[in-house]
Structure 1
């Protein structure tokens, strides 16, 4: 069983963490994030770390102990350094570009796909085949990257589609004569 919850979350310089009722608020140079706490855990905020403790010894309290600690760690990291997901587009004629507040994708369909960039997320395209999603909220960055990838996921024969930079595509052998 994991014991992630017992380790305190270190708070780096330039980040303020406060407890407002049952809400944890983290403020830093990249913005402000909030987390509503469940009834199974208690949080203690000190000057340079945040400690999470379960209220009981039942299974739900122990699972929320580690989960809450991980969510607070993600908030602190997000407001101090931020999160990034890089994606690569592979395929003839496949490309992406940022136009205003939209990400325009050409992925082999008869039309271009316009993806509206959500609030708090920054999308950049250094090359027409590279997309970088950045933001302070780890869940939102992952969700936006997953939605972009879902338009044309990588296929196993030629590897065409949108894939994460660290993703490995298991390739299949094609037809034989």
Structure 2
């Protein structure tokens, strides 16, 4: 048995989950998320929790069992509380600002980088343009966008100049 897959996901108040034959939809105060899933895993909502079972004992079904439990758990947390990643922009003259649907990064190159902010994410600038806070309901999208912004100017190990996660040690 999967150690992660056998644990049910508790549904907090204000969150609604509906299961279709090939997808799970989670709705809450922060938005609506949809996740497709394979038929090897059976998803059932009962008694205020989501339960996951395998239809067979194949290697693929065992792998998907814990995966879909984690994905649905992240969806429930995302639509109820949301996810947040903070990036620190460190360097002389380095700064960030939001202009409409773009995140504009001045990070030491001859021209500024303009990054399109994906639908469903909110970007806030703090500390005079030295801190970028990315928040949203989709855990994977928040992490992917934070990684893309960080990759514009990776932190260098000697002076620490560049873009790093707030809790990252260089």
TM-score, normalisation: structure 2: 0.96
User: Residue in 1 aligned with 2:142?
Assistant: 141
The question of 1:15 aligning with 2:30 is answered no
* CA apart distance, 1:57: 1.2
User: Residue in 2 aligned with 1:49?
Assistant: 49
User: Residue in 2 aligned with 1:75?
Assistant: 75
**40-49 or 88-97, which moves further after superposition?**
40-49
In 2, Cα distance between the equivalents of 1:5 and 1:160? Answer: 42
Q: Deviations over 1:88-147 (max 9, x none)?
A: 011111100111111110010000011111110100001210000000000110111000
Q: Which secondary structure does the structure 2 equivalent of 1:145 belong to?
A: helix
Map of 1:40-119 to 2, 5 A cutoff?
Answer: 40-119=40-119
User: Residue in 2 aligned with 1:34?
Assistant: 34
In 2, Cα distance between the equivalents of 1:33 and 1:9? Answer: 16
Q: Which secondary structure does the structure 1 equivalent of 2:98 belong to?
A: strand
RMSD: 1.1
Q: Deviations over 1:50-93 (max 9, x none)?
A: 00111111221111000000000011001101100001011111
In 2, Cα distance between the equivalents of 1:75 and 1:46? Answer: 17
Structure 2: state its 5+ residue gaps: none
Report how many aligned residue pairs link the two structures: 169
Q: Which secondary structure does the structure 2 equivalent of 1:125 belong to?
A: strand
In 2, Cα distance between the equivalents of 1:3 and 1:58? Answer: 16
TM-score, normalisation: structure 1: 0.92
* CA apart distance, 1:39: 2.1
